[in-house]
Amino acid sequence: MIKLLILADDFTGTLDTAVQFAEKGISVRISVDPEEAQFDSDYEVLAVDLETRHLDKREAYTRVYKIAKRGLAAGVEYIYKKTDSTLRGNIGSELEALTVACNQEDVCFLPAYPQAGRTTKKGVQYLDGVPIHKSIFGADPYEPVRYSLVSEIIGETSEIRTRNVGKDELESLYKGKKDCGEVMIVDAETVEDIGLVAEFLSRKRKLKLFAGCAGFATYLDRIISFKHTELINFPGANKLVMVSGSLNEVTAQQIRICEENSGEMLGRFTLKVLQKLQEHYFQSGECKETLRIIKEKIQNNEVCIIDTFDTEPGETKRIAIEQGLEGMALGERIADNIGELIEIMTKSFPEALYLLTGGDTLYGYIKRHKKAQIIPIREVEKGAVLTAVKEEGSLLFMITKAGGLGTERVVENVKSYMKARTN
């Protein structure tokens, strides 16, 4: 029976939270369709991708409310609302939906992820010591973060009550009126801080609703008792195919570092605007030469990188607007085309390891295979999740990460891990 329900706003977030449990031998089931999510299973954790990151706040509220209600009716004991580590998306409306669905229970919200440089101090979210709205995420071309005070970010999409709780004020979590639908924002600057919060919560009144990113999720097994099982074995691979749907500067730097260190062993192909924006481009007759070049690069190199960066700044967005594609529609079109490309590549090179960057990149592939079993295995490094995709007897291995996560040498680290497992 499902003990913990994880609700995430994108697929990458679903995986990097679910893997925190899988690594510890806790059975996890992943669903990419909330309407089809199965609660009658022997898994301990059910992680559901709601795809609410880019939705209107009212639609995001509705999706969270409905699945939370279903979970409670099915006997789920705990719910974890996974939020973006840089606090993008409909944070407030989704937390409000959770509390309303759960009879106005309070939510313990710990948004820090110190391993990735995300910290919370006096209710303010920082990235590497810089207030989040002044970081690179404040300059995001599609989804800029406008505030750093967590309560203000929540207030953008909800009027739900909030309260800041310092790391030395944990006792205040239990003061005041109980279960009035309040979001308690808890500070944390180190992994030790998060551990202390989890330890405190395990000794006190059993809260049922939690929220945060993968950083807090790592410690939930100190609060909740789980059964354990065995992990899937990754046999290694001889080829690494990186498909990047992210435009984040962090990803750009990771690719540059990989190019500097790989030399002649690396092939790279940057998708042109037409290949990103034309509907079903990779199912059209126009793609034959493009596919021939990409397949040749994969065949002849140990590492191949396929990316979506513009050759001229802002080129894709400008042309997309001319075509009437903006916002969510633009992101979906690019993700769909990338998903079609990944499907073609996996059929031609099923034994390769695929590194997929960007929240919508893997989802563009997975939503074409909704019956596939998605099994998180482990983190190769923080934020880079190794996953098995099992369908009709076939088994593919993919590593996913959000565009803004990972070390500068993440591609090199993945390659080393891949080769070490092969030997």
Task: Tell whether the model's pLDDT for residue 391 goes beyond 90.
Answer: no
Query: Which whole number is the average pLDDT over 379-406?
Result: 89
Q: Which one-letter amino acid corresponds to residue 28?
A: V
Over the stretch 294-352, which tens digit does the pLDDT of each residue have? 999 999 999 999 999 988 888 888 998 888 887 778 888 998 999 999 999 999 999 99
CA atoms within 13 A on the CB side of 294: 25
Nearest to 137 by CA among 153, 151, 122, 155: 153
Q: What is the pLDDT of residue 272?
A: 94
Residue indicated by tokens 């939906």? 97
Q: Give the helix/strand (H/E) hosting 170.
A: none
Question: How would residue 122 be classed by pLDDT, with cut points 50, 70 and 90?
Answer: very high
Over the stretch 214-258, which tens digit does the pLDDT of each residue have? 899 999 999 999 998 887 889 999 999 999 988 888 999 999 999
Over the stretch 206-217, which tens digit does the pLDDT of each residue have? 789 999 998 999
Task: Tell whether the model's pLDDT for residue 406 goes beyond 90.
Answer: no
49 or 143: which leads in pLDDT:
49
Q: What is the pLDDT of residue 176?
A: 57
Query: Which whole number is the average pLDDT over 145-163?
Result: 96
Q: Which one-letter amino acid corresponds to residue 288?
A: K
| Interatomic CA distance for residues 364 and 31, integer angstroms | 14
Q: For residue 125, what are the β-bridge partners?
A: 120
**DSSP 8-class letter at 234:** P
Instruction: Flag the least confident range among 110-119, 277-286, 354-363.
Output: 354-363
Task: Tell whether the model's pLDDT for residue 115 goes beyond 80.
Answer: yes
Query: Which whole number is the average pLDDT over 361-381?
Result: 86
| Interatomic CA distance for residues 375 and 25, integer angstroms | 12
Q: What is the pLDDT of residue 423?
A: 61
Q: What is the pLDDT of residue 175?
A: 66
Question: How would residue 20 be classed by pLDDT, with cut points 50, 70 and 90?
Answer: very high
Query: Which whole number is the average pLDDT over 12-34?
Result: 91
Query: Which whole number is the average pLDDT over 405-419?
Result: 91
Number of H helices, E strands in the chain: 13, 18
What is residue 302's three-state secondary structure? coil
Given CA atoms 148, 150, 155, 158 in this order, what sign does their dihedral have?
Answer: positive
| Interatomic CA distance for residues 95 and 98, integer angstroms | 5
Q: What is the pLDDT of residue 178?
A: 61
Given CA atoms 245, 37, 9, 234 in this order, what sign does their dihedral have?
Answer: negative
Quote the mean pLDDT of the chain: 91
Task: Tell whether the model's pLDDT for residue 204 goes beyond 80.
Answer: no
Q: What is the pLDDT of residue 93?
A: 98
The span from the first CA to the last CA of the chain, in angstroms, equals: 39
Instruction: Flag the least confident range among 70-74, 77-81, 138-142.
Output: 138-142
267 or 173: which leads in pLDDT:
267
Over the stretch 166-203, which tens digit does the pLDDT of each residue have? 988 988 777 655 657 899 999 999 999 999 999 999 98
Pair of tokens at residue 422: 């092969």
